[in-house]
Amino acid sequence: MTETHTGSEAASIRRRTVLIATGATAATPAVGAAAPDSPGTVTTAEGIAGTAPVADTAVCTLTKEMTEGPYYLDGAYVRADLREDKAGIPLQLTLTVVDDDTCAPLDQALVEIWHCDALGEYSGFVGNNGHEGPDNGTFLRGGVLTGTDGVAKLTTIYPGWYRGRCVHIHLKVHTDVTLTEDGSFEGGQELHTGQLFFDESVTEDVATVAAYAANDVPRTTLDRDSIYDGGGAASGLLTLTAVGNSPSSGYAGALTVGVAS
């Protein structure tokens, strides 16, 4: 399903701005405006032990929030590994949440993500992209609390794609949530709704891997997406690092997200 802004949806999207900084940490970032077309980066794992490069000083830039889309479900599990039994290329995410005024890391913020599988199907909505299969309503959904360093680490798979959208992951940041006995969360304040995006050259390689090649829906490229605005890291473009010598070995993705707390 293509995500579009209806009049009612657009009215419901908060107009607050948030800060996004490139790199894997938020140590002493300087607040300033980066070039609007500054891209995320893609590197190999050689010599850097599978971690994303970090500049001496991160640069924070303001960006608008993005639509949560039609596939959000309440009640996601609080868990670090979202994969369940889904086939796909491993993706290790490191998301650092900071305050937009001070760039200080936010402790105990719940970072929640959700995305489609290699065939473009979302749990709870399987079949919408033309591929039937089991649907437990929970795969590739979940979140974790940040530590005192503001870091949330999540393990998932590289997303597939569905008609009308480029490859992406949905993101929410909550504070003051209450953990529930069933492993989920409730209450709190939602500080940010956004999306994470992937370098097109990496996605081209990923699309050749068997689990993704079976997705017969035409793929919308990053530059033709209706949501991504071309703003690079300031608009959610991840810094990606290959963790092996082939796409099937997986990737590490990093981004620092600043929120109005």
In the chain the domains, ranked by start, together with CATH numbers, are 7-259 (2.60.130.10)
Task: Give the end-to-end CA distance of the chain in Å, rounded to a whole number.
Answer: 32
From the number of C-beta atoms within 10 Å of its C-beta (0-12, 13-18, 19+), residue 65 rates as: buried
140 Cβ neighbours under 8 A, 6+ residues apart: 82, 83, 84, 86, 114, 115, 116, 117, 122, 123, 156, 157, 159
Those residues whose C-beta lies under 8 Å from the C-beta of residue 164, and which sit 6 or more positions away, are: 1, 2, 3, 220, 226
Q: Provide the whole-model pTM.
A: 0.80
In this structure, are residues 52 and 94 in contact, taking their beta carbons and an 8 Å threshold? yes
What whole-number distance in Å separates Cα of residue 118 and Cα of residue 114? 13
| pLDDT of the residue at 185 | 97
- Cα–Cα dist 248/118, whole Å: 13
Which tokens sit at 258? 């600043």
d(CA 24, CA 178): 27
Give the C-alpha distances (Å, rounded to integers) separating 255 from 55, 165, 171, 225: 12, 21, 12, 20
> Which pLDDT does position 182 carry in this prediction?
96
| pLDDT tens-place values along the chain, 261 residues long | 545 444 434 333 333 333 333 333 333 343 333 333 334 444 433 433 344 444 334 445 544 589 999 999 999 999 999 999 999 999 999 999 988 878 889 999 999 999 999 999 999 999 999 999 999 999 999 999 999 999 999 999 999 999 999 999 999 999 999 999 999 999 999 999 999 999 999 999 999 999 999 999 999 999 999 999 998 887 999 999 999 999 999 999 999 898 887
**Which pLDDT does position 60 carry in this prediction?**
54
pLDDT score for 89: 98
Residue pair 124/248 in contact by the 8 Å Cβ criterion: no
Q: Which of 96, 133, 118, 235 is nearest to 167 (CA)?
A: 118
So what's the pLDDT on residue 23?
Answer: 38
Q: Choose among 218, 170, 217: nearest CA to 197.
A: 170
How many CB atoms sit inside 10 A of residue 216's CB?
10
